[in-house]
Chains A and B, each alone.
Chain A
């Protein structure tokens, strides 16, 4: 049964994959050619004067490794790293063009302070003093806004500075807008964050289900691994738009927005009704959970299998299909797939399920389908949540740069956790504030409203002026007495409102460590100098902390009076790392990483020692010392024989279970309509997202010739029939407006995607077409992650 996909095209694609597979005798073909490349040494002719160094790509959460070609102090070439398991020597178009992000002509190279409305150059000493004295005046009204692009040491330094130094928990990352619902989904289900499986599953699964996910554009190297196996696997694409991923899909389930919840419940209903769920897995490894009446909380209340069955009763395939806007037979098809224990199923998702006003719920429902059907715990079989940023996992989730978290999965609200962290940091008891700080939307709300509790925000490595939801409300109307500090590499919509701009070093202009979507920690070394006066973000934090120390802020010392960031040389003698000329005297990254590493042991997320990471193209935690000096990574967690922390004889053990019995939680969540649905005034759904050429807010990719050339401006996509009905011709200028704001852009029909009827798509990368003026700020009540994928809009021809 093929549903909605052009069989002829799919056959052609299969043909290419099959031809490649057939010709395996030659080393120049597909998997063999990849293997061949992996064995090769990559030296170029000596006269080129070129050296190659490893680094993870700067962009998305896939975590490909690139080889950086350096010549004469400049990056001059890039190639895929054949030694990297993630991308096996290939890259997507962004990876191939990543070098140009360093050399944009408008790089920020001088600190600048706004005086009388005008930005004027100042010295670094002045800039650091300005920040420190302002924080010192009102430490409680200061907030730090970072991102999943912070390196691990940067995020760790920021977190320690705020929570351990200023006793201030107002630190949150843009990752709140990106994968907070994935975190709460993992916590609610397994009691511990991050996927149990890894990308190797893509090489082994028989079925791939994309839940509102378009890996062909967003995670191209994962799609590459899948397209190598088109003749072996069945791909199911669930989404509101027909995309490049749909081109490769066997089944396309074009749902209505929010329909994912109905689909998941419909499938669970059928598994229960048919008795095709895994009685063995459920009995041995699962408990049931639900929300208390009228509540939305992370832990909910206990339920039972009987109650779960009863609650799932109403979600007949007919009812679910109607809610989701797909044919009944497609729900049945999914139930067939989950009901067959022989299948190996990977569910893959990213923003589609995370940017969702019921984000935690839909994450838990999809985990629940895998647990209920027993499709969990063996290679090729399990739920795989992806991230959009290179270190959303490594920095935000593991280092805990969130307003409620501490490193190592510790929580600020938990007295024992605070005590542990104070112990690690050698701080006096009670230093860490017990009250969670403001999460992202609340932080910016407090900053932008006149009587708000926050009067100063320092932004690093992100662009909230473009990526916050409902921008007119949360960013554009900053009161004059509020002070915004922005560390960045290019002018952005955020620096446009900044009072102080700090020029930052980026990517291979500094040392770094990232952590990708599959628990892989990746290290790289600085290769070239940053331009002008640009300096490392981590140095900026340490320099401000030192200035506060000098101003007498008691929090900048540990309980023995030692500076919080005590960087030392080989002989143990302190190095003044707060002075830029001494910052690279030693490897500050390594020292911070090694200081952080013991935190990771507390939830069995043991990251590898820094020096092991130096040797590897990333290692997937937990990394344990199998024998002296031999460190072994873990591909699959919670399964005996695969996870070193599962005891012999246990089979599957969820050793961080929230019910303390080694069991995971299968949640019931009802289908609930989104907060804003189209009506007669605003009759269309708006969905935002990305395109393959651009990453995040485009501040880097719009400086790359090939990427800007391919996709110079954002556009509006709608269903061609809707456009015809409204008399809007292809290529016309249209206005997209919601109750919150509007943008104007070109309408493109039959372009990158074809939205379902009644749906509109606009990518968010273009600062000139800031679609987040239109989007909704409503968020998941548990994860606090806003929904960028659905709100009500109308479209009219531009005057």
Chain B
């Protein structure tokens, strides 16, 4: 297994292949690491950088990151320790998870809205988890979803709020999207776009005050670097944000307050 610390990128895989395959895989990984290093350096120069850790994985092997550092693949460990077939599903379902696209500032917002709807009963509902989870561990979600993590070409998105100690009291395993269940006629509230009342004015925040205070408390998690297409903040002079502050814990809070200097809740 190869790992570099800057940028954080590891290749897990190769698995049972022969020696020769392993060497090739190792070379590929090294090449990717170097490429990633250069790209990472470049990206770090502006506020648009994606500082998320990356894991390259094939469909039988998944690794994780804790405290920002790559570790051995804990999900592998879970497989061994618990013999839990549900967790085995995690890696095999990797390819079925949403979003194989890199987030881009521009893009089709309606596509984003559709993808988000797949996991939410209505706009503002806690999303269901699109992959198997460990049923008693209440917070290992944060290994991937704390700061966001690339696993192969799939991005585990950072959560939109600061964590409470029990993720599973609100987020439950979805076993697929909600649409697969034909249980009734409930039609949930649709996500709204922020309205600009005057041309050029900053759009208002289309969430409720309770949501902004509690469950959508960190604007940049959804509208910053890792934004889904079409909901990312516009890159202009007004949004010239120091690179260091986009990823750092404390500064993020200040960032949030800054957002609300210009973007306000409507009809407060």
Which residues of A come within 8 Å of B, CB atoms?
Answer: 9, 12-13, 16-17, 20, 23, 25-30, 33-34, 36-37, 40-48, 50, 67, 69, 71, 74-82, 89-93, 96-97, 99-100, 102-105, 107, 216, 220, 223-224, 227, 230, 242-244, 247-248, 692-693, 702-712, 730-731, 749-754
Q: Is the CB of A78 within 8 A of B122?
A: yes
In the complex, which residues of chain A have a beta carbon less than 8 angstroms from the beta carbon of B266?
43-46
Q: Is the CB of A96 within 8 A of B125?
A: yes
In the complex, which residues of chain A have a beta carbon less than 8 angstroms from the beta carbon of B187?
74, 76, 103
B171 interface contact, C-beta 8 A: yes
Picked from A12, A90, A103, A248, the residue with its CB within 8 Å of the CB of B186 is: A103
Q: Is the CB of B122 within 8 A of A102?
A: no
B19 interface contact, C-beta 8 A: no
Would A99 and B122 be within 8 Å (CB), given that A26-B253, A45-B266, A247-B136 are in contact?
A: yes
Closest to B188 in A: A76
Roughly how many angstroms separate A224 CA and B165 CA in the complex, as a whole number?
8
The distance from the CB of B133 to the nearest CB of chain A, in whole angstroms, is: 9
B185 interface contact, C-beta 8 A: yes
Q: Is the CB of A704 within 8 A of B183?
A: yes
Q: Is the CB of A40 within 8 A of B210?
A: yes
Q: Is the CB of B136 within 8 A of A244?
A: yes
In the complex, which residues of chain A have a beta carbon less than 8 angstroms from the beta carbon of B123?
77
Picked from A12, A706, A751, the residue with its CB within 8 Å of the CB of B172 is: A706
Q: Is the CB of B204 within 8 A of A41?
A: no
Picked from A28, A89, A709, the residue with its CB within 8 Å of the CB of B175 is: A709
Would A40 and B162 be within 8 Å (CB), given that A34-B214, A103-B186, A104-B183 are in contact?
A: no
Roughly how many angstroms separate A28 CA and B251 CA in the complex, as a whole number?
12
B192 interface contact, C-beta 8 A: yes
Q: Which of B138, B165, B181, B214 has the most CB of A within 10 A?
A: B165
B16 interface contact, C-beta 8 A: no
Picked from B121, B138, B214, the residue with its CB within 8 Å of the CB of A247 is: B138
Q: Is the CB of B165 within 8 A of A28?
A: no
Picked from B128, B142, B164, B165, the residue with its CB within 8 Å of the CB of A709 is: B128
Closest to B83 in A: A730
Q: Is the CB of A750 within 8 A of B204?
A: no
The distance from the CB of A715 to the nearest CB of chain B, in whole angstroms, is: 10
Picked from A23, A45, A80, A708, the residue with its CB within 8 Å of the CB of B204 is: A45
B139 interface contact, C-beta 8 A: yes
The distance from the CB of B155 to the nearest CB of chain A, in whole angstroms, is: 22
In the complex, which residues of chain B have a beta carbon less than 8 angstroms from the beta carbon of A78?
122, 124-125
Roughly how many angstroms separate A692 CA and B126 CA in the complex, as a whole number?
15
The distance from the CB of B129 to the nearest CB of chain A, in whole angstroms, is: 8
In the complex, which residues of chain B have a beta carbon less than 8 angstroms from the beta carbon of A50?
189
Picked from A79, A693, A754, the residue with its CB within 8 Å of the CB of B124 is: A79
Give residues 182-220 of B contacting A (CB, 8 Å). 182-189, 192, 195, 204, 206, 208-215, 217-218
In the complex, which residues of chain B have a beta carbon less than 8 angstroms from the beta carbon of A709?
128, 172-176, 178, 180-181
Would A730 and B169 be within 8 Å (CB), given that A42-B210, A247-B137 are in contact?
A: no
Q: Is the CB of B126 within 8 A of A82?
A: no
Picked from A40, A74, A77, the residue with its CB within 8 Å of the CB of B268 is: A40
The distance from the CB of A712 to the nearest CB of chain B, in whole angstroms, is: 7
11 contacts between A and B (CB under 8 A): A37-B209, A43-B208, A47-B195, A74-B187, A77-B125, A79-B208, A96-B170, A99-B186, A104-B183, A105-B184, A752-B136
Roughly how many angstroms separate A752 CA and B82 CA in the complex, as a whole number?
13
Closest to B254 in A: A26
B163 interface contact, C-beta 8 A: yes
Would A96 and B126 be within 8 Å (CB), given that A28-B213, A703-B183 are in contact?
A: yes
Q: Which of A12, A81, A230 has the most CB of B within 10 A?
A: A12
Picked from A40, A77, A91, the residue with its CB within 8 Å of the CB of B122 is: A77
Q: Is the CB of A692 within 8 A of B172?
A: yes
In the complex, which residues of chain B have a beta carbon less than 8 angstroms from the beta carbon of A247?
136-138
In the complex, which residues of chain B have a beta carbon less than 8 angstroms from the beta carbon of A97?
121, 125
In the complex, which residues of chain A have a beta carbon less than 8 angstroms from the beta carbon of B184?
100, 103-105, 107, 703
Q: Is the CB of A710 within 8 A of B138?
A: no
Closest to B161 in A: A28
In the complex, which residues of chain B have a beta carbon less than 8 angstroms from the beta carbon of A82?
209-210, 213-214
Roughly how many angstroms separate A751 CA and B87 CA in the complex, as a whole number?
11
Roughly how many angstroms separate A78 CA and B208 CA in the complex, as a whole number?
11
Q: Is the CB of B166 within 8 A of A227?
A: yes
Roughly how many angstroms separate A80 CA and B215 CA in the complex, as a whole number?
10
In the complex, which residues of chain B have a beta carbon less than 8 angstroms from the beta carbon of A30?
162
Roughly how many angstroms separate A122 CA and B136 CA in the complex, as a whole number?
49
In the complex, which residues of chain A have a beta carbon less than 8 angstroms from the beta carbon of B210?
37, 40, 42, 67, 79-82, 89
B257 interface contact, C-beta 8 A: yes
Q: Which of A26, A104, A754 has the most CB of B within 10 A?
A: A26
B84 interface contact, C-beta 8 A: yes
Picked from A43, A79, A93, A227, the residue with its CB within 8 Å of the CB of B165 is: A227
Closest to B66 in A: A12
B267 interface contact, C-beta 8 A: yes
The distance from the CB of A33 to the nearest CB of chain B, in whole angstroms, is: 5
The interface size bin for chain B is 35 or more
The distance from the CB of A78 to the nearest CB of chain B, in whole angstroms, is: 7
B2 interface contact, C-beta 8 A: no
B135 interface contact, C-beta 8 A: yes
Roughly how many angstroms separate A596 CA and B59 CA in the complex, as a whole number?
64
Would A92 and B170 be within 8 Å (CB), given that A77-B122, A77-B188, A705-B181 are in contact?
A: yes
Would A23 and B209 be within 8 Å (CB), given that A37-B214, A96-B170 are in contact?
A: no
In the complex, which residues of chain A have a beta carbon less than 8 angstroms from the beta carbon of B161?
28
B101 interface contact, C-beta 8 A: no
Closest to B142 in A: A16
Q: Is the CB of A99 within 8 A of B121?
A: yes
B44 interface contact, C-beta 8 A: no
Q: Is the CB of A224 within 8 A of B164?
A: yes
Closest to B253 in A: A26
B85 interface contact, C-beta 8 A: yes
Picked from A26, A40, A244, the residue with its CB within 8 Å of the CB of B168 is: A244
Roughly how many angstroms separate A102 CA and B187 CA in the complex, as a whole number?
11
Would A45 and B192 be within 8 Å (CB), given that A23-B253, A80-B210, A100-B121 are in contact?
A: yes
The distance from the CB of B161 to the nearest CB of chain A, in whole angstroms, is: 8
In the complex, which residues of chain B have a beta carbon less than 8 angstroms from the beta carbon of A749?
82-84
Q: Is the CB of A243 within 8 A of B256?
A: no
In the complex, which residues of chain B have a beta carbon less than 8 angstroms from the beta carbon of A750?
82-84, 136
In the complex, which residues of chain A have a beta carbon less than 8 angstroms from the beta carbon of B256?
26, 28
B250 interface contact, C-beta 8 A: yes
Roughly how many angstroms separate A263 CA and B111 CA in the complex, as a whole number?
58
Q: Is the CB of B217 within 8 A of A33?
A: yes
The distance from the CB of A144 to the nearest CB of chain B, in whole angstroms, is: 30
Picked from B172, B215, B218, the residue with its CB within 8 Å of the CB of A93 is: B172
Picked from B82, B122, B172, the residue with its CB within 8 Å of the CB of A707 is: B172
The distance from the CB of A530 to the nearest CB of chain B, in whole angstroms, is: 14
Roughly how many angstroms separate A50 CA and B190 CA in the complex, as a whole number?
11
Q: Is the CB of B165 within 8 A of A26?
A: no
Q: Is the CB of A216 within 8 A of B169?
A: yes
In the complex, which residues of chain B have a beta carbon less than 8 angstroms from the beta carbon of A26?
253-254, 256-257
In the complex, which residues of chain A have a beta carbon less than 8 angstroms from the beta carbon of B173?
709-710
Q: Is the CB of B121 within 8 A of A730?
A: no
Would A224 and B166 be within 8 Å (CB), given that A89-B213, A100-B184, A710-B172 are in contact?
A: yes
The distance from the CB of B77 to the nearest CB of chain A, in whole angstroms, is: 13
Would A103 and B185 be within 8 Å (CB), given that A34-B214, A40-B210 are in contact?
A: yes
In the complex, which residues of chain A have a beta carbon less than 8 angstroms from the beta carbon of B178?
705-706, 709
Q: Is the CB of B183 within 8 A of A100?
A: yes
In the complex, which residues of chain B have a beta carbon less than 8 angstroms from the beta carbon of A220?
166, 169
Roughly how many angstroms separate A767 CA and B168 CA in the complex, as a whole number?
24
Closest to B170 in A: A93
Closest to A91 in B: B170
Ranked 9 nearest A-B pairs via Cβ: A40-B209, A710-B172, A37-B213, A103-B186, A77-B189, A26-B253, A220-B169, A104-B184, A103-B184
In the complex, which residues of chain A have a beta carbon less than 8 angstroms from the beta carbon of B83?
730, 749-750
Roughly how many angstroms separate A636 CA and B173 CA in the complex, as a whole number?
39
